[in-house]
Amino acid sequence: MSRTIEVKAKSGSYEIRVGRDLLKEVPAYMKELQLGSRVFVIGDTHTRMFVEQLEHFLINGGFETRTSTITAGEGSKNLNTVRQLYSECADAGLDRKSVIVAVGGGVVGDVAGFVAATYLRGLKFIQVPTTVVSQVDASIGGKTGVDLKEGKNLVGAFHQPSLVVCDLDLMESLSQREFNSGLAEVIKYGLIADEKLFAELEKRLAHKPVTLDSETIVRCAQIKAEVVATDERETLGYRAILNYGHTIGHAIEAVAGYGNVLHGEAISIGMVAAAMLSHDRLQFPGRDVKRIHDLFAGVGLPVKLPRSLQTPVAIKKLVKTMLLDKKTQDGKFQFVLLEKIGKARIGQEISADEVEKILERLV
């Protein structure tokens, strides 16, 4: 049994299927969509087993299949990997009707999506996300791309997938830390768009071991799909709502060193800080700041700066890093803040001093 969500992007609509044991259904879905019969499946060294399973299902379904696995991790999200994959596309004889399938987390999705967006000026593309982050966020919305040594996600293209298949079973092999990190994005959806989801998460995440169900993934995917349908290319400013907690989070990731603090861990701290700023600026209730703090802390996510970033010097460095970010205007930050749980307000101007004071309270 799967649930279907439609993403009504201006450049074309597509479906997200959510459920369990869906990997084996991919060939049938591809036939429904009348996609070509030559398929290039791309995964990474941690999702190789799913790549091999999918290859088996595709061959049984009459598809001609080629596979490749890139080295796991953000370090592979670069143009060298893309160049290598282009060569493999050529070697496999891919043509305009061929299909690229990404089986992995956001790194695989972003890289494989970029290859699909650019090889032969664009091939059809399917996402089979295997992390929490990729199931609820990265696989939906058509942002593809790679990092340069000068910065993250500096090269890319918008290229919507033809289909997204979220199979919850594929997340069972995730490490506890990766799983928890992904929960930060799930909680974010409750905070920015759905009070009921937030309240449900308070109950669900209190039970250990923490699990996610299809209904939660569906709700998150629906919210992302709505944002994408409203502001596909981030030209209206609305898509920025997804950046709640990210201004401070990105700086923490950069200053702590990518990989030392995971993305979800960094935005967990960023979301607590943004809730405190919301309290100061928008009369967001103090008791709800506490609920947010307690929910993140309850699933083992950090709610204070990492020890190495707790010194006055490190806090100044965080603010300086934020000022260098392309999203600042005239030395002021554009924050997403909360009016209440489930309702975010974009474009809130916050000064560097205010941010510094909030960070000082997170030690």
Which positions touch ligand NAD (CB under 6 A)? Answer: 44, 46-47, 72-74, 77, 104-108, 110, 130-131, 133-134, 137-138, 141, 143, 153, 170-171, 173-174, 178, 263
Q: Is 185 a catalytic residue?
A: yes
What are the residues facing 343 on neighbouring strands?
340
Q: Which of 46, 159, 188, 224 is catalytic?
A: 224
Catalytic-role residue among 77, 124, 143, 219: 143
Q: Which of 124, 250, 265, 345 is catalytic?
A: 250
Please report how close the Cβ of residue 109 comes to ligand NAD at its closest, in angstroms. Answer: 6
Pairing of the two strands 99-104 and 64-70: unpaired
Phi-psi region of 253 (alpha: psi -120 to 50; beta: other; left: phi over 0): alpha
Is the Cβ–Cβ distance between 139 and 127 less than 8 Å?
A: yes
Known catalytic residue: 159?
no
Smaller CB separation from ligand NAD, 61 or 73: 73
To the nearest whole angstrom, how small is the minimum distance from the Cβ of residue 74 to ligand NAD? 5
| CB-based burial label for 248 (10 Å; 0-12, 13-18, 19+) | buried
Neighbours of 312 (CB within 10 A): 11
Residue whose structure tokens are 């996610």:
212
Residue 160: beta bridge partners? none
CB of 166 to ligand NAD, least distance (A): 12
Residue 178 a catalytic site member: no
Q: Identify which of residues 4 and 173 has a Cβ nearer to ligand NAD in the complex.
A: 173
- Taking the complex as a whole, how short is the minimal distance between the CB of residue 363 and ligand NAD, in angstroms? 27
Nearer of residues 72 and 282 to ligand NAD, judged by Cβ: 72
Instruction: Confirm whether 202 is a catalytic residue.
Output: no
**Of 25, 195, 200, 234, catalytic:** 234
Residue 340, phi-psi category: left (phi > 0), alpha (psi -120 to 50), beta (remainder):
beta
In the residue annotation, 55 being an active-site residue is answered as no
Query: Which runs of consecutive H residues, i.e. helices, occur in the chain?
Result: 26-32, 48-60, 79-91, 106-118, 132-133, 176-193, 195-204, 214-230, 246-256, 263-282, 286-298, 312-324, 352-360
Whole-angstrom CA distances from 86 to 68, 118, 247, 313 are 11, 9, 34, 44
Spot the catalytic one: 15, 46, 180, 185.
185
| 124, 246, 253, 345: the active-site residue | 246
Chain-centre distance of CA 250, in angstroms?
A: 13
Residue 239 catalytic?
yes
Q: Which is nearer to ligand NAD, 166 or 315 (CB)?
A: 166
- Least separation in angstroms between residue 49's CB and ligand NAD is 9
Q: How far is CA 313 from CA 247, 258, 268, 355, in A?
A: 19, 19, 22, 14
Task: Measure the CA–CA gap between 273 and 284, rounded to whole angstroms.
Answer: 12
Query: Taking the complex as a whole, how short is the minimal distance between the CB of residue 42 and ligand NAD, in angstroms?
Result: 12
Is 226 assigned a catalytic role?
A: no
**Catalytic-role residue among 46, 188, 219, 263:** 263
Q: Which is nearer to ligand NAD, 210 or 314 (CB)?
A: 210
∠ at Cα 235 (152, 271), nearest 5°? 55
Which residue's CB is nearer to ligand NAD, number 45 or number 283?
A: 45
To ligand NAD, the closest distance from the beta carbon of 140 in angstroms equals: 7
* 31 belongs to the catalytic site: no
Helix (H, G, I), strand (E, B) or coil at 339: strand
Instruction: Report the residue number, 145 or 288, with the smaller CB distance to ligand NAD.
Output: 145
Q: Is 263 a catalytic residue?
A: yes
Residue nearest to ligand NAD (CB): 106
Active site residue 290: no
Catalytic residues: 121, 143, 185, 224, 234, 239, 243, 246, 250, 263
